[in-house]
Amino acid sequence: MPPDISPPDAALVQGRAELERLSARGKRFLGTRYAIMGGAMTWVSERHLVAAISNAGGFGVIACGAMNPDQLAAEIAGTQALTKAPFGVNLITLHPELVALIRACHATGVGHIVLAGGLPPQGAVKAVKDGGAKLVCFAPSLGLARRLARFGADAIVIEGSEAGGHIGPVSLNVLAQEILPHLHEVPVFVAGGLGRGEAVAGFLSMGASGAQLGTRFAAAVESIAHPRFKQALIRAAARDALPSRQLDERFPVIPVRSLVNAGTRRFLEHQAATRDRFLAGELTKDEAQLSIEHFWAGALRRAVIDGDVEHGSVMAGQSVGMVTSEQPVAEIMDELMAQATAALAERARLPAPA
């Protein structure tokens, strides 16, 4: 039989071209083939996963977490040994050595720095800009996004409550409608609950420049997460990833989305016992608050590294239901792009409205 020389599907060609057009700003900003950022996940987003994401055409991001400047410099160097593609570093604004960490990024040639965990101090913003790096900030509202852009942010991430880990109160669906039609000064990346390319294409069509995904990459082959941690993600459904509950408003709990397990149930019991000790006069209010905050100390490492998925903190976004197997990062990336292209191609096939 003669080889198949049928012309390519015109709608598919149009879908690819549309995906290129919609993601062009994000790709220029990141310097990558795809406008896909890896979410910074403590203990997970280290050199192997970060390099794999960048090598697959995305933009890996190191999660600095509690590292000191020397540890961060070593992690950056380790990542650079595994990839020549661009990647970034995520720093927590409350870190006591924040400016020193920024200097470590500059000294090792990191081109993008993400400041997360609160409004970045002006000194930190100045340090990032003075060193020549591009600054990425998180914004939970349109007003704050515009303010950050004025103060020097080169790009904004809007992350919905569907995300894993520490979360805000508003869904990505609402944030996107509030922010994307009105913020044009800088590229905007969407995050939270994203697991398929059709969703990425939809937000690109609304005005996003790119997307950030975490949970799907956490279960990737290249992720150093313990096999039991990955299997917990693969087995879970969206409704299994719930935010931590606050028992008493006198003792605030920052909501963290993770898989429900024995640890999350014990956290409620611990809050109740701590509250009772406070009411009995055994603890001061500050001591009780500290006891509640320290409950999860080391729990993420226990889950990710040690594989204790019953008592550790298995942080995961609601997209966890779309994690169905342990895949190589490149396969995940190809799958996302194929789904996004197909969605845009299907749109091209639809008749134009009268």
Mean pLDDT, the chain, integer = 95
Burial of residue 348 (number of CB atoms within 10 Å: 0-12, 13-18, 19+): middle
User: Is residue 300 pLDDT above 60, yes or no?
Assistant: yes
CA atoms within 13 A on the CB side of 234: 14
pLDDT at 213: 98
Does position 82 have pLDDT exceeding 70, yes or no? yes
DSSP 127-154: HHHHTT-EEEEE-SSHHHHHHHHHHT-S
The three-class DSSP label of residue 347 is helix
Model pLDDT, residue 352: 61
Taking the C-alpha atoms of residue 216 and residue 40, their distance in angstroms, rounded to an integer, is: 12
Q: 86-90, 275-279, 320-324, 350-354: lowest mean pLDDT where?
A: 350-354
CATH topology of domain 10-226+323-346: TIM Barrel (3.20.20)
DSSP state, 315?
B
Q: How far apart are CA 137 and CA 153, in angstroms?
A: 6
The beta strand positions in the chain, using DSSP E, are 36-38, 60-63, 87-92, 112-116, 134-138, 155-159, 165-166, 188-191, 210-213, 241-243, 256-259
Interatomic CA distance for residues 312 and 303, integer angstroms: 5
Which residues 6+ apart lie within 8 Å of 185 measured at CB?
146, 149
The confidence score (pLDDT) of residue 88 equals: 98
Predicted confidence (pLDDT) at residue 126 exceeds the cutoff of 50: yes
Taking the C-alpha atoms of residue 121 and residue 119, their distance in angstroms, rounded to an integer, is 6
Q: Which of 266, 244, 267 is nearest to 256 (CA)?
A: 244
Task: Provide the residue ranges of all domains of the chain, joining segments of one domain with +.
Answer: 10-226+323-346, 237-315
Question: How confident is the model at residue 1, as a pLDDT?
Answer: 52
Look up tokens 């390099």; give the residue. Answer: 51
**Separation CA 91–CA 102 (nearest Å):** 8
Whether residue 118 has pLDDT greater than 90:
no
For residue 218, which of 84, 50, 30, 64 has the smallest C-alpha distance?
A: 50
Rounded Cα–Cα distance for residues 343 and 220 (Å): 24
Tell me, what's the pLDDT at 218? 98
Tokens of 282: 């055994």
Give the pLDDT mean for 6-22: 87
Whether 6 shows a pLDDT value over 70: the answer reads no
Decide if pLDDT at 310 tops 90.
yes
Residue 122 has pLDDT above 90, yes or no: yes
Q: Under the phi-then-psi rule, with left for phi > 0, alpha for psi from -120 to 50, and beta for the rest, what region is 318?
A: alpha
d(CA 206, CA 210): 11
7 pLDDT more than 90: no
Instruction: Give the pLDDT confidence score for residue 5 in this predicted structure.
Output: 45
> Measured between alpha carbons, how far is 129 from 154 in angstroms, rounded to an integer?
10
- DSSP designation for 8: P
Tell me which residue of 263, 269, 335 sits closest to 300, measured CA to CA. 263
Rounded CA-CA distance 39/261 in Å is 23
Which segment of 1-15, 164-178, 281-295 scores lowest on mean pLDDT?
1-15
